Amino acid sequence: MAAKEYDVLIIGSGHSGGMAANVLTKKNLSCLMLNAGPVVDLEKDRSVKAAHELPFRGLGEPGRNPHIVIGNEFNANQWVDEREVPYTTETNARYDWVRVRLVGGRSLFWARQCFRLSDYEFKAKDHDGFGDNWPIDLAELTPYYDRVDSIFKVVGRKENLPQFPDGKFIDIQEGPESKATKDITSAAKDRGIAVSRMRFAQGEGGLASSVNLLLPEAAASGFLDIVPNAIVREITVDKNTGKANGAHFVDRHSKREVHVKARAVVLAAGTLESTRLLLNSGIANSSGVMGHYLIDQLYGCKVVASLPEARNGKVKPGMIGGGMFIPRFRNLKKGEKNNFLRGYSLPLGSGGGADPRMFREYGPELQKKLDEYRGSCVQGGLYGEVLPRFENHVRINKEVKDAWGIPVLHIHAKYGENELNMAKDAANTQEELYKAAGFEILYKSDKLFAPGYSIHELGTCRMGDNPKTSVLNKYNQSHDIKNLFVVDGAAFVTGGWQNPTLTISALSMRASEYLAEQMRMKNI
Amino acid sequence: MKSAGVAPALLLPAEVLAQRATGARSAPAIPKLEVTSPDAAGETVHRFFNEARFTALRRLGELFQPKVGNAPGATEAGAPEFLDFLIGASPADRKKLYNNGLDALNAAAQKKYRKNFAATTAEEADAVIRPLLATWDYEPPADPVIRFVSEAHQDLRNATVNSREYAEAGAASASRRRAGNTGLYFNPIP
């Protein structure tokens, strides 16, 4: 039986793959989407349970998901099982790679924070001389950001700050600010630091996933076939034309191998899975930089402070409560002197209590402390930029294979002095602001979480104008194979401090429209 | 005996074939049977830690998570027995952390008071434990004994508040504040 040839093969179904399907089917292009895991029904496949009803009393199955810090026994089944799909790292160089293979991918579970990159990120080299610029700028991506904002229903407050570009926000009624947040905002303002509110996707019913915002429309068009449980092993290339012509996938259950054909291939498997597939396929790497410039975002650096007059149950209405968001404020002026490049943002929350781990106490004394501090605390972390460095990279480890016989990734990622200095600055800044607002520091740590923890791994197939130093052009199109596109986070040149989902979605929209136009013009 | 080439349908019982012939497709109704949990029916048997280590862990549980009011403590919640099972099923590095950590508590108690940690008074135990308490968030300190105390503290606390006993006591309390942990459980992926 001759296999059908699709116009476009899309590998992956998260925000980037969902956006590609949404755009391409609107152009009447027949699309096949392959996804490594099954379709789930969030209503039927989840139920409220008590921890004691679980096999391991909620403490988790030993040895499962050791790198998923946010994982627990309740959500263990939503993540990729590391025993099935392992990866390797350098000795003593931890990397927390968090993956989801369900249809919809990580878009099912993301925190929905929506920030645009600014030209401080797109043109970072122009600003501080380090690394490389993107081949695009904010103005070029703005129309796509606007459209993604509308799809996601992004909520935010306009600030008119160049490092924190405003979006096409939907209106919501903001609650009144508490005295504590006003005091922190005032302390920040005295230091030239702007305080804003979190920006996030409202989506539908609290879900802003490809499965509810992007894929339904594509599926209804009649131009999209979705094959779940299809683990792609290799992208195939026509020896005569040098163009991608489809892919081999392995059925997750039976391990039967299947080949599918397409006129173009869009890779959207999630940054490192996309790169792993390209490296395993041995294609599109004439530059030699594929796998390099792995970046993510700095998380960690926890500071907790308490408002003395709010302790021991003395919290009064309006005294404390509410969130704040401090966008990047360091290294915005040329020549500004800090012991690190780039910058970070601070997400802050107030009105909560303290974690038991913040006290050197146990038993009744610990409980007394927890009761004393309940409702009196402000705490924050950081979202920081990681410098793109050639030496942070992934490569194939042929010695280790996953449950389907596919060689795994070896990940080499380490933070350097720039990241460590940035974390110290973030901790000191928080301490200064909290103290100035009348809080007392309860806990302060400038330690960083391991690379990968942010679940914002980026780069490894970066875009650029020069085919010798980049894998993709400015349309996410392979320099080497013109009908091959990588539309997920692998294309990033710099990561910034911003949650990358909005940018990934906007880039995928733009790349998919470009692909459709090139196909219409018979250039592909 | 199943012979090669026989279609599976021919092997079905006659009543199933008859049901299909009449078009009846619904599955037979099975009355819902009430079941009970292992914890409600019995106690976990401890078999991983030796006696000196297990009694040290139980003493640690009494100190870290004692019974308060109607809320069961680690002992009443069977937390040490549960951790004996959990650590026994864990990777080698976690087993080593616990074994060496419990040995260190016994060694410190022997050195100071010539008795095992399990036999220490509250005051004596505090003198052993307090220098080993640390604050942390993402990852406990690197020192193996301090790391053990940090992890054991968290594990004993979680094994207690996540227990059936804790949930039942909370459900029976007026405030229901201590109803135990609940969450949205994701079923195994088919």
What does the pLDDT read at residue A1? 60
Q: Is A55 exposed, middle or buried (0-12, 13-18, 19+ CB in 10 A)?
A: exposed
Residue type, A421: N
Distance (Å) from the C-alpha of residue B122 to the closest C-alpha of chain A?
Answer: 11
What does the pLDDT read at residue A198? 94
Please list, residue by residue across A301-330, b when 16 or more beta carbons sit within 10 angstroms of its beta carbon and e when fewer do: bbbbbbbeebbeeebeeebbbbebbbbbbb
Distance (Å) from the C-alpha of residue B18 to the closest C-alpha of chain A?
Answer: 33
Decide if A369 contacts A266 (C-beta within 8 A).
no
Decide if B148 contacts B101 (C-beta within 8 A).
yes
Mean pLDDT of the B6-19 span: 50
Residue that is written with structure tokens 């599109």 in the block:
A284
Mean pLDDT of the A399-410 span: 98
What does the pLDDT read at residue B87? 98
Distance (Å) from the C-alpha of residue B184 to the closest C-alpha of chain A?
Answer: 4
Mutate to test the interface with B, among A41, A360, A362 (most CBs of B within 10 A): A362
In sequence order, the 6+-apart residues with CB closer than 8 A to the CB of A59 are A73, B86, B155, B158, B159, B162
| pLDDT per position as a tens digit, A41-58 | 988 999 999 999 999 999
Q: How many domains does chain B have?
A: 1
> What is the pLDDT confidence band of residue B178, given thresholds at 50, 70 and 90?
very low
For B69, name the nearest residue in chain A, comparing CA atoms only.
A364
A447–B139 C-beta distance less than 8 A = yes
Region class of B69: left (phi > 0), else alpha (psi between -120 and 50), else beta = left
**Which helix (H) or strand (E) covers residue A233, if one does?**
strand A230-237
Pairing of strands A407-412, A88-89: parallel
- In this model, does residue B3 exceed pLDDT 60? no
**Is residue B135 domain-resident?**
yes
Instruction: Give the pTM.
Output: 0.93
**Is residue B31 domain-resident?**
no
In sequence order, the 6+-apart residues with CB closer than 8 A to the CB of A336 are A330
Mean pLDDT of the A93-120 span: 97
What does the pLDDT read at residue A71? 87
Mean pLDDT of the A371-400 span: 97
Mean pLDDT of the A127-143 span: 97
* Residue A224 Cα distances to A22, A26, A216, A401, B175, angstroms: 9, 10, 10, 31, 53
**Is residue B15 domain-resident?**
no
The ipTM (two decimal places) reads 0.90
* Cβ atoms < 10 Å from Cβ of A149: 24
| pLDDT per position as a tens digit, B78-132 | 999 999 999 999 999 999 999 999 999 999 999 999 999 999 999 999 999 999 9
The single-letter DSSP state of residue B16 is H
- In this model, does residue B43 exceed pLDDT 90? no
What does the pLDDT read at residue B14? 54
**Is residue B52 domain-resident?**
yes
B64–A363 C-beta distance less than 8 A = yes
* Cβ atoms < 10 Å from Cβ of A364: 10
Question: Does any CB of chain A come closer than 8 Å to the CB of residue B64?
Answer: yes
- In this model, does residue B2 exceed pLDDT 80? no
B130–A355 C-beta distance less than 8 A = no
* Residue A8 Cα distances to A104, A219, A238, A245, A513, angstroms: 18, 14, 15, 10, 13
Strand-pair partners of A49: B183
What does the pLDDT read at residue B28? 80
Question: Does any CB of chain B come closer than 8 Å to the CB of residue A55?
Answer: no
| pLDDT per position as a tens digit, B86-97 | 999 999 999 999
- In this model, does residue B1 exceed pLDDT 80? no
Longest dimension (CA), chain A: 77
Strand-pair partners of A246: A236, A261
What does the pLDDT read at residue B15? 54
| pLDDT per position as a tens digit, A183-231 | 999 999 999 999 999 999 999 999 999 999 999 999 999 999 999 999 9
What is the domain extent for residue B157? 44-168
A77–B187 C-beta distance less than 8 A = yes
Helix extents (H) in A271-337: 271-281
Question: Does any CB of chain A come closer than 8 Å to the CB of residue B180?
Answer: yes
In sequence order, the 6+-apart residues with CB closer than 8 A to the CB of B25 are B19
What does the pLDDT read at residue B23? 57
B180–A51 C-beta distance less than 8 A = yes
**Is residue B66 domain-resident?**
yes
Question: Does any CB of chain B come closer than 8 Å to the CB of residue A38?
Answer: yes
Cα B173-B179-B184 angle, rounded to 5 deg: 155
**Is residue B8 domain-resident?**
no
Q: Which residues in chain B have their CB less than 8 angstroms from residue A360's CB?
A: 130, 133-135
Residue that is written with structure tokens 């619904």 in the block:
B26
> What is the pLDDT confidence band of residue B176, given thresholds at 50, 70 and 90?
very low
What does the pLDDT read at residue A172? 75
**Is residue B163 domain-resident?**
yes
For A80, name the nearest residue in chain B, comparing CA atoms only.
B189
| pLDDT per position as a tens digit, A137-148 | 999 999 999 999
Cα B47-B49-B50 angle, rounded to 5 deg: 95
Decide if A354 contacts A442 (C-beta within 8 A).
yes
Sign of CA dihedral A197, A203, A206, A207: negative
Q: Report the SS3 class of residue A179.
A: helix
Q: Which residues in chain A have their CB less than 8 angstroms from residue B92's CB?
A: none
Mean pLDDT of the A417-443 span: 98
Mean pLDDT of the A343-368 span: 96
What does the pLDDT read at residue A212? 97
What does the pLDDT read at residue A182? 97
Helix extents (H) in A61-208: 119-122, 124-128, 138-152, 179-190
A363–B137 C-beta distance less than 8 A = no
Question: Does any CB of chain B come closer than 8 Å to the CB of residue A54?
Answer: yes
Region class of A265: left (phi > 0), else alpha (psi between -120 and 50), else beta = beta
Q: Is B111 exposed, middle or buried (0-12, 13-18, 19+ CB in 10 A)?
A: exposed
What does the pLDDT read at residue A442? 97
Crossing angle for the helix pair B144-161 and B79-88, to the nearest 10 degrees: 120
Pairing of strands A224-227, A440-444: unpaired
- In this model, does residue A502 exceed pLDDT 90? yes
Mean pLDDT over each residue of chain A, to the nearest integer: 96
| pLDDT per position as a tens digit, A307-320 | 999 999 999 999 99
Distance (Å) from the C-alpha of residue B12 to the closest C-alpha of chain A?
Answer: 25
> What is the pLDDT confidence band of residue B29, given thresholds at 50, 70 and 90?
confident
Phi and psi torsions of A367, nearest 5°? -60, -40
Question: Does any CB of chain A come closer than 8 Å to the CB of residue B89?
Answer: yes
What does the pLDDT read at residue A296? 96
| pLDDT per position as a tens digit, A2-12 | 679 999 999 99
**Is residue B26 domain-resident?**
no
Mean pLDDT of the B36-47 span: 84
| pLDDT per position as a tens digit, A144-181 | 999 999 999 999 999 999 999 999 999 877 778 999 99
> What is the pLDDT confidence band of residue B138, given thresholds at 50, 70 and 90?
confident
